[in-house]
Amino acid sequence: MTIAPKTLPVLDLRLFAPDHPEQDQALAQLREVTRTLGFFYLTGHGVPQQQIDELTGLARRFFSLSEEKKLEIEMRKSPHFRGYNRAGFEYTRGAQDWREQVDFGPEREKLQIGADDPAWKRLIGPNQFPSALPELRPAVLKWIEDVTIVGLKVLQAFSEALGQKPDVFAPIYNNGPNQLLKIVRYPGRDQTESDQGVGAHKDGGFLTILLQDVVGGLQVDDGRGGWIDAPPVRGTFVINVGELLELASNGYLKANIHRVVTPAAGGDRLSIPFFLGANLAASIPVLDLPPALAAQVRGVTQDPLNPLFREVARNVLKSRLRSHPDVAREHYADLLEEQTGETTPA
């Protein structure tokens, strides 16, 4: 397949079903797209448009709340990195990201942490929900449940595209995958200090499922020194390969660089990304690829500023500490002191 320049391809999830007559062709297309670009639009996902519209409507209502009501669930109050962040309070590669956002995960009990327990166990715990918008809680938890089902179907298709059994990754997600939902608003350029909505980066986890509203801004590295715009397409999600799949495939699949550019002055942009990863206690295996695919592996991309580890929790905790220095100082000062001798992120 030749990917059209400056365009993300569109794949239909229904074609990956075991009994579909076009499954083999669909898997070949998925393999080519995710080896070369790592991004595509997904149709046929089965999430009703009414549910999509309801969640985006609730997101708009949340961001229209007063700052006082949003700060009631400020992320700084949560050792689990759940809750609201004002624009400029998250960082990518040390530079401020100009977006306000609220982070949610699966609703789990806070663990009792012993002195000898690993630090990543502090990440597990409950969400914070705004008292001024009680409808948000059931909608968010239902969304996490439903897009997790979509994500696992896509993950199974990735597995088959790599010549594996569909459930090859089940042992490292069955006991509770790592799930993160962000509801994000990017203010216009007149309200920010730079064009960096989110700086250039790769996503961790297995894969990302992104819902976009109506304003564009997402850009994907085209591998030739330029960027591919990925504007919103109603009824679709944008799917991209995460670093765990790059690790597991020894670089056959590509976790690609992408960024979000700040919207024009006077407007804003709404997006709702969901990140599906392995259980925090898991380690990522290297798949035994068929010879024809193994001959094409590139090896895992090495970034000295962002080293990757096969221990899932080590990657997740590292990422959260770097991205949210205020939460890190509040709840993980002991780790920062171990790494740097002072209470600032490494």
Half-sphere exposure (Cβ direction) of 7: Cα atoms closer than 13 Å = 8
pLDDT of residue 94: 84
Contact 27, 16 (CB under 8 A): yes
| Structure token digits, residue 250 | 């020894």
CB atoms within 10 A of CB 107: 14
Q: Sheet containing 258-261: which strands, arranged edge to edge?
A: 196-201, 258-261, 218-221, 227-229
Axis crossing angle, helix 136-161 with helix 23-36, rounded to the nearest 10? 100
The full DSSP string for 200-246 is EE---SSEEEEEE-S---EEEE-SSSSEEE----TT-EEEEE-HHHH
Query: Which residue ranges make up each domain of the chain?
Result: 10-340
Query: DSSP character for 114?
Result: P
| Structure token digits, residue 160 | 């088959």
- How many residues in the chain? 346
Query: DSSP character for 184?
Result: E
Beta bridge partners of 125: none
Q: Does domain 10-340 correspond to CATH entry 2.60.120.330?
A: yes
Contact 136, 62 (CB under 8 A): yes
The full DSSP string for 129-151 is --TT-TTHHHHHHHHHHHHHHHH
pTM as predicted:
0.94
Contact 227, 267 (CB under 8 A): no
Encode the chain (346 residues) as per-residue pLDDT tens digits.
444 447 899 999 999 999 999 999 999 999 999 999 999 999 999 999 999 999 999 999 999 999 999 999 999 999 999 999 999 888 888 889 999 999 999 999 999 999 899 999 999 999 999 999 999 999 999 999 999 999 999 999 999 999 999 999 999 999 899 999 999 999 999 999 999 999 999 999 999 999 999 999 999 999 999 999 999 999 999 999 999 999 999 999 999 999 999 999 999 999 999 999 999 999 999 999 999 999 999 888 877 777 889 999 999 999 999 999 999 999 999 998 655 443 333 2
pLDDT of residue 338: 57
Question: Could you tell me if residue 328 is left (phi over 0), alpha (psi between -120 and 50 degrees) or otherwise beta?
Answer: alpha
Question: Could you tell me if residue 143 is left (phi over 0), alpha (psi between -120 and 50 degrees) or otherwise beta?
Answer: alpha
Q: Say whether 268 sits in a helix, a strand or coil.
A: strand
Q: Which residue type occupies 316?
A: V
